[in-house]
Structure 1
Amino acid sequence: MKHPFSNPVAAAALAGLAIAALSLLIPTGCSRTEGATRESDGTRRLVVYSPHPEDITRYIVREFRQRTGIEVTIIAAGTGELIERMKHAAVRTAGAGAGGRVLSGEADLIWGGGIESLETVTEYFEAVDSPTDAELNPVYLASHRLWRPFSVLPAVVIFNKSLIPEEEWPDSWEDLLSPRFRKRLIVADPEKSGSSYTILATMLYTMKKTAGNTFGGWPYVQRFVEQLGPDGIASSSSMVYRAVAAGDFYAGITFENYALSLEQTGSNVGYRYPAEGTSAVP
């Protein structure tokens, strides 16, 4: 099966869905279906889909449980995989057919995933008014109230400083086409990773050659694909920064929070905001 990174038709479709994400800062995060379930022993429990790595979810879930007494079960996978799982698990209004209102599913919430992914499946979410909305900047609140912001993260280029001479550290998208990085680049599969879905759209947008073609950067993406080796498309976004930190690849593309975490732990991984521009999508 071809990946969106190697298929111009699929890339164009993804880019079209990402227009809102690149032009507006709209929140993404969680959407409620039926709320916490009370089990036979009286325990209240939320089932949550999340593409976030465990080192992000672990501490937040623990504090949530301490504050509310509600247990949380995390079902972890890439954004694309979770969306497909949500579709298959959904129960719709009897007799309403494929277009019926979704009544319930396997999970109560989805925590994470870019808005360009969630906008394709809005019929699976329920609008919720939250008392905490007043504490949020209105620019991050979508009018349909189907989700709330968790984070707004720029896409960055990361690189292993131990493997690349300082004068060749990549400062731009164009730098990644250097022979230095041939078969030494890694990026997550956009069909499975919401962050990589955003990264693909960002490339198409920032590397366009004409102003009239909003997502006209396909020639660049084709050249970028040629730089990827046989293992250059990872099955998850977490594999990207881990592989670069381990020295398995010279460079990769991820989100700012992962780069900052590596920096704080004394890793040999550096990062740059591409000179041509990047995106900061909730």
Structure 2
Amino acid sequence: MRKFETGGTSMNYGFKMLAIAAAVSTFGVGGVRAQSGELVLYCSANEDWCRAMAESFERETDIAVLMTRKSSGETYAQIRAEEGQPRGDVWWGGTGDPHLQAAQEGLSAEYRSPMLEELNDWAVRQAETANYRTVGIYAGGLGFGYNSDLVTENPPACWADLLDERFVDDIQVANPNSSGTAYTLLATVVQLMGEDEAFEFLAQLHNNVSQYTQSGSAPIRAAATGETAIGIVFMHDAVAQTVQGAPIVAVAPCEGTGYEVGSMSIIEGGPNPDNARIWYDWALTPEAQEIGATANAFQVPS
């Protein structure tokens, strides 16, 4: 998790992210040759994006994809539990910190894709930090979104605004035990406020939280349906709800915020290592990275 400063309203930021994601298509490689067999994919991005990636890869390679979608924390726990007898081949998507932890523990395999030289610097730094046991595939800023039908006056613009007593039991956020999104929130407020003030902030925020969800994007889906007023999420998830017609306003908090580097890793000792490397290279192509926008996933591609 890294910090960047923001200010003002967030819809401009959210739609900038959307525009960047839609526009990135300038680097390229040749087509993927036909293969056979299967690939066991653990996916921690949103389910529609996971499914679209798997289906596109199957069409292009004739490799059958067995896909399971879980949050970053759940997937990391599963890979760790399967150490020595891994069942998965590739872990694609989700916040970068659990990927880095898996790399440090030797749960992911070293692989230097020929696509590395085509990637943004921040994606390559993720690979270098992990000794090439993971790589950055997208970036996304943390923030929150609110339902404008439910919050009609003095909408929140800052982290501090979320402590307002009018939002008691009207905020949802993910559980840091299962979600990389929530872990990024913890790291963000500690960096912004210092440890003592950050944990005081989180204690006060708890009074307004109605539910700690398992999935990082679930809070904004709840806000979109009116189940809650505010969801703390990565801003691209809020933008996705707006694009689909929900009355959601995305907010980049005025104090500043943090961001994720979504990552991809090959699982050490997985059953189909050759197909894992084929997926890895393919997933870094511009054609594969453009799939996100078709599934309303508006992260910034690597």
TM-score of Structure 1 vs Structure 2, range by shorter chain: 0.7 to 0.9
- Of 204, 207, 229, which residue of structure 1 is paired with 2:190? 204
Distance, in Å, in 1 between the alignment partners of 2:181 and 2:114 is: 29
Aligned to 1:271: 250
Map 1:13-24 → 2, pairs under 5 A? 21-22=1-2
Tell me if structure 2 keeps the 8 A contact 1:114–1:194: yes
Alpha-carbon distance, 1:203 to partner: 2.0
The one-letter amino acid paired with 1:162 is D
Q: Deviations over 1:94-147 (max 9, x none)?
A: xxxxxxxxxx51100111222222222221011101111111123321211111
Question: How many residue pairs end up in the alignment?
Answer: 225
Aligned to 2:282: none
The one-letter amino acid paired with 2:63 is I
SS of equivalent to 2:40: strand
Same amino acid, percent of matched pairs:
26
The 4+ residue runs of structure 1 with deviation greater than 6 A are none
Q: Deviations over 1:246-278 (max 9, x none)?
A: 111110111122111111111111111000011
SS of equivalent to 1:169: coil
Q: Does 2:114 align with 1:134?
A: no
Structure 1 residues not aligned, in runs of 5+:
1-20, 25-41, 92-103
**Which structure has the greater CA radius of gyration?**
1
Distance, in Å, in 2 between the alignment partners of 1:74 and 1:195 is: 21
Tell me if structure 1 keeps the 8 A contact 2:99–2:134: no
SS of equivalent to 1:131: coil
Alpha-carbon distance, 1:43 to partner: 4.4
Aligned to 2:167: 181
Tell me if structure 1 keeps the 8 A contact 2:95–2:181: yes
Aligned to 1:164: 151
The root-mean-square deviation of aligned C-alpha atoms, in Å, is 1.9
- Of 174, 191, 206, which residue of structure 1 is paired with 2:177? 191
Change (3 A) 1:111 1:225: same
Map 1:215-226 → 2, pairs under 5 A? 217-226=198-207
Structure 2 residues not aligned, in runs of 5+:
5-34, 262-302
Tell me if structure 2 keeps the 8 A contact 1:187–1:233: yes
Q: Deviations over 1:56-112 (max 9, x none)?
A: 112222211122221111111122111111112121xxxxxxxxxxxx511001112
Q: Does 2:140 align with 1:147?
A: no
- Of 61, 68, 71, which residue of structure 2 is paired with 1:68? 61
Tell me if structure 2 keeps the 8 A contact 1:192–1:236: yes
- Of 229, 232, 240, which residue of structure 2 is paired with 1:250? 229
The one-letter amino acid paired with 2:225 is A
Distance, in Å, in 2 between the alignment partners of 1:171 and 1:154 is: 15
The one-letter amino acid paired with 2:237 is Y
TM-score by length of 1: 0.75
Alpha-carbon distance, 1:44 to partner: 1.2
Choose between structure 1 and 2 for higher RCO, CA contacts under 8 A separated by at least 6 residues. 2
Distance, in Å, in 2 between the alignment partners of 1:133 and 1:179 is: 48
Map 1:100-115 → 2, pairs under 5 A? 105-115=86-96
The one-letter amino acid paired with 2:122 is V
Q: Deviations over 1:161-180 (max 9, x none)?
A: 00111x32110100101111
Distance, in Å, in 1 between the alignment partners of 2:122 and 2:80 is: 29
Distance, in Å, in 2 between the alignment partners of 1:150 and 1:139 is: 10
